């Protein structure tokens, strides 16, 4: 009954056993997966995966790491890719001030452009935010993000930020780090975010939850994220799994 709302199964770390990992995920209770694009190449691969598996959906977009590679044609290419019926979001897009692989002014420009593309296409956005909370919130306000909708993936901000994002109609997605011993800030945010505004994800093959930290992540480990949220909120695992699945289906327009 689980929905892993953010994975990168097209990643080269799955090249040896991708189909087996996908089958295993199903056996481990994962009903739906959204595979997120991070540039044109991975967006195309995400669509191909979604075409092969009925329960996998895709998003298309350019990650801030690749913002410098965008040009005047990129938005048109993304729009063409988004015509595929399995594409349910623009993402992942956003800002990354940890690695700064693209200049910050370029990241912000391309982020705004892709939000506007999502508005035109009537698709939600999947937002990457690493050490860029202030500029992310500023852009949300300037672009009237509530009219677009979306999710902050692998949320790393404060409880106050989460509350502000919910007011803007954005979902908060929780990933493996919530299981880490030093994740007090994320745990506090989970306590305050209403269950009907939470999503769960793995970000596979990254951000592997405890006790498997250091190993390759895969969608089946999303169960560990749901279990941790249930523990934090003092509710059942089944309630978390069911509600977060319904939230994801609502956001991404999956019947």
Domain that holds residue 156: 2-252
Give whole-number Cα distances, 46 to 34, 236, 242, in Å: 9, 32, 25
pLDDT tens, residue by residue, 22-63: 999 999 999 999 999 999 999 999 999 999 999 999 999 999
pLDDT tens, residue by residue, 158-214: 999 999 999 999 999 999 999 999 999 999 999 999 999 999 999 999 999 999 999
Give whole-number Cα distances, 23 to 20, 168, 223, in Å: 5, 37, 16
Candidates 222, 239, 248, 229; CA nearest to 187 is: 229
Strand partners, 2: 30
Q: What is the pLDDT at residue 17?
A: 98
Asked if residue 211 has a cis previous peptide bond (ω within 30° of 0), the answer is yes
User: Strand runs (DSSP E) across 102-240, as ranges?
Assistant: 125-130, 150-152, 170-174, 198-200
Cα-Cα end-to-end distance for the chain: 14
Q: What is the pLDDT at residue 205?
A: 98
Q: What is the pLDDT at residue 119?
A: 98
Q: pTM for the full model?
A: 0.97
Confidence of residue 78 (pLDDT cuts 50, 70, 90): very high
Asked if residue 205 has a cis previous peptide bond (ω within 30° of 0), the answer is yes
Q: What is the pLDDT at residue 73?
A: 96
Share of the chain above pLDDT 70, in %: 100
Q: What is the pLDDT at residue 155?
A: 98
Residue 117 and residue 163: Cα distance in Å, rounded?
Answer: 26
Kindly report the CATH number assigned to the domain that includes residue 86: 3.20.20.140
Q: What is the pLDDT at residue 237?
A: 98
Q: What is the pLDDT at residue 84?
A: 98
Number of domains the chain contains: 1
Share of the chain above pLDDT 90, in %: 100
């Amino acid at each position: 009954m689980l929905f892993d709302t953010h994975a990168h199964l097209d990643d080269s770390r799955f090249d040896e056993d991708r189909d087996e990992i996908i089958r295993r995920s199903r056996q481990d209770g994962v009903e739906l997966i959204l595979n997120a694009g991070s540039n044109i190449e991975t967006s195309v691969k995400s669509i191909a995966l979604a075409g092969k598996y009925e329960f996998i959906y895709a998003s298309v977009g350019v990650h801030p790491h690749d913002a410098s590679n965008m040009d005047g044609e990129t938005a048109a290419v993304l729009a063409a890719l988004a015509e595929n019926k399995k594409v349910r979001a623009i993402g992942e897009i956003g800002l990354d001030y940890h690695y700064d692989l693209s200049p910050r002014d370029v990241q912000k420009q391309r982020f705004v452009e892709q939000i506007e593309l999502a508005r035109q296409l009537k698709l939600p956005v999947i937002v990457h935010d690493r050490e860029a909370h202030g500029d992310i919130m500023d852009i949300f306000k300037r672009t009237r993000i509530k009219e677009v909708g979306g999710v902050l993936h692998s949320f790393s901000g404060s409880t106050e930020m989460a509350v502000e994002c919910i007011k803007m109609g954005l979902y908060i997605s929780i990933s493996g780090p919530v299981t880490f011993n030093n994740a007090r800030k994320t745990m506090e945010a989970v306590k305050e975010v209403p269950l009907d505004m939470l999503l769960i994800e793995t970000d596979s093959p990254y951000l592997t939850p405890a006790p498997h930290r250091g190993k390759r992540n895969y969608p089946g480990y999303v169960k560990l994220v749901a279990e941790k949220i249930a523990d934090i909120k003092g509710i059942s695992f089944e309630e978390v799994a069911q509600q977060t699945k319904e939230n994801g289906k609502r956001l991404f327009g999956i019947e």
